[in-house]
Structure 1
Amino acid sequence: MEDLPQVTHAKRNRLTLVVIVLSNFCAVCCVSLIAPFFAIEATKKGTSLTVVGFIYSSSELVIFLSSPVFGYLLSRFSPRSFYIVGLCIFGCCDIIFGCLNILPSGIPFIVACFFVRGMEALGTASVMTSSFTIVGLCFPERIATVYGVLKSASGAALMIGPALGSGFYELGGYGLPFWVLGSCTFACGCASYVILPHQDTVPPTQRPSGFAVFGSPSVWFGILAMYAAFFTLNSMYPFYAHHLTQFHLSQGIIGLIFMIPPSVYALATPLWGYLLDKHVSAVPTLWVALWCLSTSTLFFGPAPFLGFVPTVLWLTILMTAFFGLSFAPVAVSAVKCIYEGARESGLEGDVATFGFLAGIIQSSTYIGTFSGPILAGIMMDHFGFPWLMTGCSILVMVTSLSFTPFLGITLWRKFKLRKTHTEGYSEIK
């Protein structure tokens, strides 16, 4: 009978994880469903492609700016409330976005798109920061595993979202994709109100110090690695289809190639999360994964100075798969590094700490997703796709090289610790 509360608590934690995974899946589907048709509809409303690009990237900027604020607020208030309200705002904004085509063309349509997209981004930031906080509190010893599961759901949603958007668009026009998936997200918010447990706030004396966190090299390694990785990903995706046109492929084949990185990423992230929680050290894993990511990016173009590497389709597809395979350990081990650095800084595994770190993680991610397409567009105009990917490869490589001394110190500490344990065991014998 004594074990019954523990079993019930464990089941509730698993149910919480399932609800959050489904909610995040619906939310990311809502974000990605506009890719196949929004630009077409926006141009009918007199919106230039440049403005369409800013509408896309505006949400990334809002998430980058608001995530630290939500992370701070989560240390004062219950993350459950922010999660539920964020989902409901997200769902409502998506439903409203499906009605914007009735507005007059030009300025009214553009202003409404920016406003609704910005409000939706606030809901996204609230959901993402609070979801990381909640699962961190439920599974404090399995951070990498549950984060891998969440990112796997996001990767699957990035693949399925455009397909659902395209299908509903053909079935019922512009509004139907937003109404269906927005309603599903709002329903997830209502279900979360019933299922998610309450978390207590913490007294002021237990709240984290930002200076303590940013004094850890492990935290900075995770932050810069996530920025470099997501900068590279979002620099590549807007222009990758243009690069593939040289192979004279159909749109269907190009779409299938685009599905390769998120497919491999979605399959690999839970495995890497499990390994990082059980057997593998985060810092060496992140260092090696960054080099693998840099190598795959270097061969995407390929780099102009790699004259011996042919520009052929099979190599492009192979590097696309390798990119997704390398991206998975970077994303998961970077989060693990940030959480380990926070613990080494003396922070407790409470609501305040997880909320604060969730804000850091989201900001480092979305500054990369925001700045990547903008700088990539400049690179494409002046230098072309091969040099763009070369620049991204150098960015990732420099990030890894900058923390090579930190890697050496980490490995030396682990060696000394293992040696101490071995000597202690020999003395006991």
Structure 2
Amino acid sequence: MEGVGPTAKKAHNLSKPMLTYAFTVVTVVLGLAFTLYSLPAPFLPFFHADRNVSSVWDGVILGAVSVGFFISCFLTAQLMEHFNYLPILMTGSGALGILFIVNSFFDRITNNILYIVLSCSFRVVAGIAIGLVSVPSFGVLAKMIPTRIAFVTATAEAALNGAQAFGPFMGSLLYDAGGYSLAFWVPGVIVACNVLLELTIPHVNTLPDQTDTNDSIKVYKDPWIMMAAWHCAACQVLLYFHLPTLDPFAERALGETVVWTGLALLVNTSTTILCTPPLATSKMQVMLVLALLGFFVPMGSTPILVIMIDVYKLRNGGEISV
């Protein structure tokens, strides 16, 4: 992690071992927070089916966290103008952990309407807490190694996406082992304990210079920035839109359990960890992604279509209506 330039001297004077330690801790904290992002995806349809909650709410509750995260990213960026990163980061980790611990008691709620309202509300707030972790993490990592922004961004993205890949797998294992409650309070305790880990991070200043005249509104209106932001948003939609439907499909059409679904989601996105760092800021990335998309989409869609036709035929006496 060499390459500490003049800008870095304003942010920190850490030795290389301490810089490596701080970089590692922040990356781990970021990854653990995003483990909770899609953790309930594999087992929530099962749980809702058992308590007669409409499957429509699978996607609403899972997607509510993204609403909170979207709001939080803008608000946290404003907070970073006035507060150093560490208090914001600690607040996000602590709040996220507590929210998941409280969420572990929702299986005791007998009224489905109350359950849905609380689940959606808690997921929105959880998204806000994840934003309080994500934005300061990216900010401080960039301050630590300002001359290698591509490497920093790629590493953080790999940790983030790898954690989102592992989250559903961990959630499915915990749900299979101990049910709804265990799947929430165990990761909640782990993330809440991040606050203690964050206290060991050496000081890094992320406050902007007093002479900095950047206008946040101008940044948000910049088409170059917003185009990139919406492109990333579209990629995330494509990556996770199938979460609410994969589990029921795996059970009914493939005869697999929630653990298989979690493993499939892990395999689905785990390649991000491997491909993100070497492809950072590369012009070849777009070309390669488009080429791979054209190759792998038929591999994913064609077998599913065959299964869909087989299921339809079985349910209709072996005949396909014209």
Secondary structure (helix, strand or coil) at the match of 1:48 reads coil
Q: What is the number of residues matched between the two proteins? A: 294
**Which residue of the partner structure matches residue 315 of structure 2?**
none
Write the mapping of 1:256-405 to structure 2, written as runs, cut at 5 A.
257-273=264-280, 276=281, 280=282, 284-285=283-284, 287-289=286-288, 291-292=290-291, 295-296=294-295, 299=298, 311-312=302-303
Q: Which moved more, 1:6-15 or 1:186-195?
A: 6-15
Q: Which amino acid aligns with 2:174?
A: F
Give yes or no for contact 1:45–1:109 (8 Å, CA) kept in 2.
no
Write the mapping of 1:14-163 to structure 2, written as runs, cut at 5 A.
14-163=20-169
Cα offset, 1:137, TM superposition: 0.7
Give yes or no for contact 2:103–2:122 (8 Å, CA) kept in 1.
yes
Give the distance between the partners of 2:264 and 2:47, measured in 1 at CA. 25
Q: Which amino acid aligns with 1:271?
A: P
Secondary structure (helix, strand or coil) at the match of 1:195 reads coil
1:363-404 CA-to-partner distances (Å, cap 9, x unmatched) read xxxxxxxxxxxxxxxxxxxxxxxxxxxxxxxxxxxxxxxxxx
Distance 1:285 1:220, change over 3 A: farther
Percent of residue pairs bearing the same amino acid type: 21
Cα offset, 1:238, TM superposition: 4.6
**Which residue of the partner structure matches residue 314 of structure 2?**
none
Gap regions ≥5 residues in structure 1: 303-310, 314-429
Give the distance between the partners of 2:275 and 2:113, measured in 1 at CA. 44
Give the TM-score, by structure 2 length.
0.78
Among 241, 261, 286, the residue aligned to 1:235: 241
Gap regions ≥5 residues in structure 2: 1-8, 305-322
Distance 1:18 1:77, change over 3 A: same
Cα offset, 1:136, TM superposition: 0.9
Give the distance between the partners of 1:231 and 1:241, measured in 2 at CA. 18
Give yes or no for contact 1:84–1:192 (8 Å, CA) kept in 2.
yes
Give yes or no for contact 1:92–1:182 (8 Å, CA) kept in 2.
yes
Give the TM-score, by structure 1 length.
0.60
Give yes or no for contact 1:45–1:105 (8 Å, CA) kept in 2.
no
Between structures 1 and 2, the one with greater helix share:
1
**Which residue of the partner structure matches residue 194 of structure 1?**
200
After superposition, the CA RMSD in angstroms is 3.3
Q: Which amino acid aligns with 2:267?
A: I
Distance 1:220 1:101, change over 3 A: closer
Give yes or no for contact 2:69–2:128 (8 Å, CA) kept in 1.
yes
Give the distance between the partners of 2:31 and 2:207, measured in 1 at CA. 27
Give yes or no for contact 2:64–2:124 (8 Å, CA) kept in 1.
yes
Give the distance between the partners of 1:113 and 1:241, measured in 2 at CA. 19
Secondary structure (helix, strand or coil) at the match of 2:83 reads coil
Distance 1:261 1:196, change over 3 A: farther
Cα offset, 1:87, TM superposition: 0.4
Q: Which amino acid aligns with 2:294?
A: T
Give yes or no for contact 1:29–1:161 (8 Å, CA) kept in 2.
yes
Q: Which amino acid aligns with 1:103?
A: I
Cα offset, 1:206, TM superposition: 0.4
Give the distance between the partners of 2:113 and 2:251, measured in 1 at CA. 34
Distance 1:125 1:254, change over 3 A: closer
Give yes or no for contact 2:41–2:244 (8 Å, CA) kept in 1.
no
1:258-277 CA-to-partner distances (Å, cap 9, x unmatched) read 4433122211112223xx4x
Among 149, 165, 168, the residue aligned to 2:171: 165
Secondary structure (helix, strand or coil) at the match of 1:22 reads helix
